[in-house]
Amino acid sequence: MDKSKALGNLLIILVAAAILMGVVYFYSFLIIKPYSGFEHILVIEEKVYRKNPYIIKRGQVLVNSKIIGKEIDPHLHWDEKAEKVTLTTNNKTIRFKTDSLTAMVNAQPVQINIPATKVEDSLYIPIEFLADFFNIEVSKYLDMDRVVVDKRNQQRKIGVPLEWTPLKIKPSVLSPVYAFVDSDDALYVYGETKEWYRVRTMDGVFGYVKKDLLEVEIFMGPVFTQEEPEQGLWEPEKGKINLVWDYIYKKTPDVTGRAPIKGLDVISPTWFSLTDEEGNIDNKADISYVRWAHKNGYRVWALFDNSFDPDITSRVLNDTDKREKVIRQLLVYARLYELDGINIDFENVYYEDRDMLTQFIRELTPILHQQNLVVSIDVTVKSYSLNWSLCYDRKSLGGIVDYIVLMAYDEHWVTSPVSGPVASIGWVEEGIRTLLEEVAPSKVLLGLPFYTREWEETLDAKGSIKVKSKALSMAQARKRIKENNARIIWDEATGMYFATYKKGDTVYKIWLEDVKSIELKASLVQKYNLAGTAAWRLGFEEKEVWNVLYNVLKPQKI
C-alpha cells in the first residue's frame, strides 16, 4: 500500500471519528422535554402517576381517590351510596360529601374551597385541604401540567450540584438530558449506581447526575402540621389498671351507699346499646352515678355494646351515615355524663363485617380522643369461630385504640356441649400469648371472671351425656357446694378448685372461681407486663378478691 492510500484511509477514519464524536456530543447535550404526551403528571416522592391522576377546579388540585388511598391514607373509605369519603389519621376523622363545601373534621363542620368531585367513575379529593392533616407538601406547577407531593417529615438524601451539570435521562454520558442543574438546585436522591445518582428535581423531574458532581447529605425536613400529638395511654397513678364492669339491667341504681373498693381505678357501667338498624342507642346512664364514681376516685368508661345482634350491627357498620349517627350520640352522652372513656363491646359480628368494624373504630377513636376520652375494645380469646373470634382484626384494632380487653373467660360457655371451667389457667395464658403476637402488652387488659358455672350432666335414652349449665356468683357457688356436701379438690391443671356431687341420675360439676384462682390469673399481668385487669362483673365477687387484686396489681415497693 502506498503512502497516499494510507493517508486517505487515515483521513476517512479521522473524519468518521469526528462525526461520531459530534453525534455523541450532540446527543449528550440534546434536551428532551420530560413527560411529553401526557396531559397531567402527579409525582408523589419517587412515584409518577400519568393516567388522570388529578383535576383542577378553580385553581385547586383534586387527586384521584385511588391514588390517595394508595399513597396517603391506606384506610380511605368511599361509601358510594352515601356519596361520602372518609379519611383518618391518628387524631382526625375527615369526611367529604361529594359536591358539598362542608367537610366534617372530628364531627365538626369545616368550610372548604372546593368539594370532592365525581368525574365519570372516578372520585377526586381536594388534596391541599388534607396537607396539614397528613403532613404533606403540595406543590403546583400548573404551567407544566404537573403537581408534586412530598412528605414533610421524611428523612431524605439531598444533593447539591458542585457545578453546572446535565440531568441525564439514563446513567450514561451518551444519554440525552432533561435539563441542566447547578448549585442553586436541590435534588432529592432516590438511588444510585456505581457512578451515578438517581435524582429528582423539586418540580418532579427524574434523571441521573454523575456522583463526582453532586454533594449529598442526609436531611430531615421540618415538620409543619396542625395535627395534635397522638394521645398517650392513660395510666393509673399507681401500679396496673384495675377495672370492673358494672352490669346495669334496666335502670341505674342509687349507688351512693356503696362502700369504696380498695385499689379500683375504673368502673364500666353497661349503659349504651345499639338497638336498631337505624343506629339508635339505648341509654341507661345517670350523672349521679358518675359523680359518685369520681368522688371515690374511679374513672368511668361506659360500655357500649351491639346487643350481640349481627344483623343490626352489619347494617349500621356498612352505612356511613349510620356510623356517623352512632358517633354523634356517643359524643353527646360522653359530654352530658362527664365520662372518662368508652368501652366498645361488639360481639357476635359477622366475619364479613370484620373490616367495617375496624373502620368504625378507626373513625370513632380520634373523635373520642379529642374529647379526652380513653377508648378500649373487648375481644375474645382467639378461636376458629367466625362471628365470635375471627371477626376481630386484633392487630389493626390494637394500633387504633388505647386498650384491648381480652375477655379471657367462657372457655366453656353457657351452651357448651361439654362441661368445663370458665377460665383454666393454661387456656388463659395461651390466650394472652396469642394476643401479644399482634398487640403490645402495654395495651392489654386481662379479663377476669368473677363468676363460675354449675354444670348438669344427664344421660339421654341413647346413653349420650346431655349438658346444661347456669352462671353462679362466687358466693352462690360456695353455697351450692356446701348445701350438697360436694367433694372439693384443688385441680392443678386448671388452677381451680373442682367440686362434684350427684342427685339421682344427674351429676353436677363446678370449677370454682375464687380468691386463689383469680390470684393465679391476675399474676399473669405482671408476668407478661400487661396494662392491668378487667373483671366481669361487679357483685359476683367475694370481698377478699379486692385485696388479692390490690396486692397483685399495686405491689408495694421494698
> Can you give the residue ranges of every domain in the chain?
41-151, 155-220, 241-450+520-553
Q: What 3-state class would DSSP assign to 362?
A: helix
- The phi, psi pair for 219, rounded to 5°, reads -140, 135
**267 Cα distance to chain centroid:** 25
**472 Cα distance to chain centroid:** 36
Q: Which fold does the domain 41-151 belong to in CATH? A: Copper Amine Oxidase; Chain A, domain 1 (3.30.457)
Alpha helix locations (H) across 72-156?
127-134
> Which cell numbers hold the place of 503?
342427685
Work out whether strand 532-536 and strand 241-246 pair parallel, antiparallel, or are unpaired: parallel
CA distances from 397 to 61, 88, 455, 489 (A): 33, 14, 35, 41
With b for 16 or more beta-carbon neighbours within 10 A and e for fewer, the 535-558 pattern comes to: bbbbebbbeebbebbbebbbeeee
Query: Residue 4: its pLDDT value, please?
Result: 66
CA distances from 1 to 5, 12, 29, 40, 234 (A): 7, 16, 41, 63, 97
Query: Residue 138: its pLDDT value, please?
Result: 97
Identify residue 102 by its one-letter amino acid code.
Answer: T
CA distance 189 to 315: 49
Q: Which fold does the domain 241-450+520-553 belong to in CATH? A: TIM Barrel (3.20.20)
Query: Residue 227: its pLDDT value, please?
Result: 52
Please give the helix or strand (H or E) that residue 104 lies within, else none.
strand 102-105
Query: Residue 81: its pLDDT value, please?
Result: 95
CA distance 165 to 167: 7
Work out whether strand 146-151 and strand 41-44 pair parallel, antiparallel, or are unpaired: parallel
Count CA within 13 A, CB hemisphere, residue 244.
23
The pTM of the full predicted model, rounded to 2 decimals, is 0.92
Q: Which CATH superfamily hosts domain 155-220?
A: SH3 Domains (2.30.30.40)
Work out whether strand 84-88 and strand 93-97 pair parallel, antiparallel, or are unpaired: antiparallel
User: Strand pairing partners for 406?
Assistant: 379, 446
Q: Helices (H), strands (E): how many in the chain?
A: 12, 35
Long-range Cβ contact pairs of 144-147 (< 8 A, separation 24 or more): 144/41, 144/203, 145/35, 145/38, 145/39, 145/40, 145/41, 146/35, 146/40, 146/41, 146/42, 146/43, 146/203, 146/204, 147/40, 147/41, 147/42, 147/43, 147/53, 147/54, 147/61, 147/63, 147/204
- At a CB cut-off of 8 Å and minimum separation 6, what does 247 contact? 270, 537, 538, 539
Q: Are the CB atoms for 281 and 321 separated by under 8 Å?
A: no
* Look-up of cell digits 447535550: 29
Query: Residue 15: its pLDDT value, please?
Result: 47
Query: Residue 493: its pLDDT value, please?
Result: 98
Query: Residue 197: its pLDDT value, please?
Result: 97
CA distance 307 to 313: 8
Torsion angle of alpha carbons 257, 258, 263, 268, nearest 10°?
-120
Q: In tens digits, what is the pLDDT along the chain, a chain of 558 residues?
A: 566 666 555 555 554 544 444 444 444 557 899 998 888 999 999 999 999 999 999 999 999 999 999 999 999 999 999 999 999 999 999 999 999 999 999 999 999 999 999 999 999 999 999 999 999 999 999 999 999 999 998 889 999 999 999 999 999 998 999 999 999 999 999 999 999 999 999 999 999 999 999 999 998 765 555 555 556 678 999 999 999 999 999 999 999 999 999 999 999 999 999 999 999 999 999 999 999 999 999 999 999 999 999 999 999 999 999 999 999 999 999 999 999 999 999 999 999 999 999 999 999 999 999 999 999 999 999 999 999 999 999 999 999 999 999 999 999 999 999 999 999 999 999 999 999 999 999 999 999 999 999 999 999 888 899 999 999 999 999 999 999 999 999 999 999 999 999 999 999 999 999 999 999 999 999 999 999 999 999 999 999 999 999 999 999 866
Identify residue 388 by its one-letter amino acid code.
Answer: W
Other CB atoms within a 10 A radius of the CB of residue 75 amount to 16
Q: Are the CB atoms for 266 and 252 separated by under 8 Å?
A: no
Residues 346, 348, 352, CA angle at the centre, nearest 5°?
100
Query: Residue 158: its pLDDT value, please?
Result: 95
Q: Are the CB atoms for 207 and 167 separated by under 8 Å?
A: yes
Say how many Å lie between the first and final Cα of the chain, rounded: 107
Q: Are the CB atoms for 367 and 408 separated by under 8 Å?
A: no
> In this structure, what DSSP letter does residue 93 have?
E
Query: Residue 1: its pLDDT value, please?
Result: 54
Query: Residue 31: its pLDDT value, please?
Result: 86
